């Protein structure tokens, strides 16, 4: 049994179904990625798992305990890094982490040691006496993490922890996630950045419009689209291109536009390259780039949802 078990989870806001019958099992020791565009239902799912929001229906078990019955006991094992920064701006970094440590019942030497360890781990020990309001966006994100790991949780849930920060802090956070995982912490990591999920996660669920579209290891997800290939054609003026003419070519499954590139998903079994190039070159556009896209999570997502 997984350390987190989500069964038939539904959350409705009036007519809007934010979470639409999600089932997930997250095993101990994973870095589990929940990947999906904005509005997919990631935060809503996370908030329910952390008992911050009640589901409309369904069940969540953490370490075998139903969150409805045992939320206090579960909170000891769970750390949450919320998407919005949850620290006090007039407190120093030290005082913020201390506040959270006390909430979890840490006292005396144990508290002191845990504060130092959390601040050191997030690279904030040297600025521990600075007030949070003097921190950059990246430092605030790291302080958010320091507060979430003060009680040494077995499971750490991180909701889009790298949104809107500088690359250096982003790298720092991603390294910290790997390091915590090495120390035995199970991580649930939501993101809308494909590259992050690809670089970090051992398992991934792709969600869209409240539903899980696919779930598996990176290799399993990539295998799902191995019967397709994705051709990228760069054009000087994509809006002069009549895209409909391409849709009728045998083997063409889907066509998307990304800036000045036509992205054509095609069946691997049909050799239609000459036809595609012919149709494009008959139009009033110049080809500026041409190549196959490597199979990445992005191509998987594109091929399964039809959107970038």
Footprint of ligand ADP (CB under 6 A): 13, 16, 18, 36, 38-44
The residue (of 13 and 292) whose beta carbon lies closer to ligand ADP is 13
Kindly give, in sequence order, each residue whose CB lies less than 8 Å from that of residue 96, ignoring residues fewer than 6 positions away: 87, 88, 132, 143, 146, 147
Rounded least distance, CB 37 to ligand ADP, Å: 7
What are residue 81's DSSP bridge partners?
158
Long-range contacts of 179-182 (CB under 8 A, 24+ apart): 179/121, 180/121, 180/149, 180/156, 181/29, 181/31
The residue (of 112 and 192) whose beta carbon lies closer to ligand ADP is 192
What are residue 62's DSSP bridge partners?
4, 65
CA–CA distances in Å: residue 195 to residues 190, 219, 243: 12, 15, 29
The residue (of 22 and 63) whose beta carbon lies closer to ligand ADP is 22
The residue (of 36 and 101) whose beta carbon lies closer to ligand ADP is 36
76 secondary structure, DSSP code: T
Rounded least distance, CB 16 to ligand ADP, Å: 5
The residue (of 53 and 125) whose beta carbon lies closer to ligand ADP is 53
Rounded least distance, CB 12 to ligand ADP, Å: 9
Rounded least distance, CB 21 to ligand ADP, Å: 14
Kindly give, in sequence order, each residue whose CB lies less than 8 Å from that of residue 301, ignoring residues fewer than 6 positions away: 35, 194, 206, 307
- 122 sits in the region (left: phi over 0; alpha: psi -120 to 50; else beta) called alpha
The residue (of 20 and 59) whose beta carbon lies closer to ligand ADP is 20
Rounded least distance, CB 301 to ligand ADP, Å: 14
CA–CA gap between residue 186 and residue 163 (Å, rounded):
21
Rounded least distance, CB 263 to ligand ADP, Å: 23
Beta strands in 120-227 (DSSP E): 155-159, 186-191, 203-208, 211-216
Rounded least distance, CB 41 to ligand ADP, Å: 4
What are residue 32's DSSP bridge partners?
188, 203
CA–CA gap between residue 168 and residue 180 (Å, rounded):
18
Scan for tokens 């050799």, then name that residue.
271
The residue (of 124 and 206) whose beta carbon lies closer to ligand ADP is 206
The residue (of 6 and 295) whose beta carbon lies closer to ligand ADP is 6
DSSP assignments along 242-284, one per residue: -THHHHTSTTEEEEEEETTEEEEEEETTS--HHHHHHHHHTSS
Rounded least distance, CB 144 to ligand ADP, Å: 16
């Amino acid at each position: 049994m997984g350390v987190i078990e989500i069964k038939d989870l539904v959350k409705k806001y009036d007519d809007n179904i934010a979470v639409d019958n999600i089932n997930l099992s997250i095993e101990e020791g994973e870095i589990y990625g929940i990947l999906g565009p904005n509005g997919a239902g990631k935060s809503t799912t996370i908030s329910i798992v952390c008992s911050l929001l009640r589901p409309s229906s369904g069940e969540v078990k953490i370490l075998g305990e139903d969150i409805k019955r045992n939320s206090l006991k579960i909170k000891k094992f769970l750390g949450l890094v919320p998407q919005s920064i949850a620290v006090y701006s007039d407190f120093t970094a030290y005082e913020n982490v201390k506040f959270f440590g006390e909430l979890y019942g840490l006292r005396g030497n144990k508290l002191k040691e845990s504060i130092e360890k959390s601040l050191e781990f997030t690279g904030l020990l040297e600025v521990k006496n600075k007030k949070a309001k003097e921190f950059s966006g990246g430092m605030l994100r790291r302080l958010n993490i320091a507060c979430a790991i003060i009680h040494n949780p077995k499971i750490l849930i991180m909701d889009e922890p790298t949104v809107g920060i500088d690359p250096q802090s982003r790298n720092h956070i991603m390294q910290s996630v790997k390091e915590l995982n090495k120390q035995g912490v199970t991580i649930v990591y939501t993101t809308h950045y494909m590259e992050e999920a690809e670089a970090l996660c051992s398992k991934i669920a792709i969600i869209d419009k409240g539903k899980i579209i696919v779930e598996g290891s990176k290799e399993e997800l990539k295998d799902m689209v191995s019967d397709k290939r994705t051709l990228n054609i760069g054009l000087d003026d994509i809006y002069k291109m009549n895209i409909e003419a391409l849709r009728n070519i045998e083997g063409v499954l889907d066509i998307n536009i990304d800036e000045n590139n036509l992205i054509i998903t095609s069946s691997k079994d049909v050799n239609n390259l000459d036809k595609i190039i012919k149709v494009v070159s008959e139009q009033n556009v110049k080809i500026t780039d041409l190549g196959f896209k490597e199979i990445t999570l992005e191509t998987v997502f594109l091929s399964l949802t039809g959107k970038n």
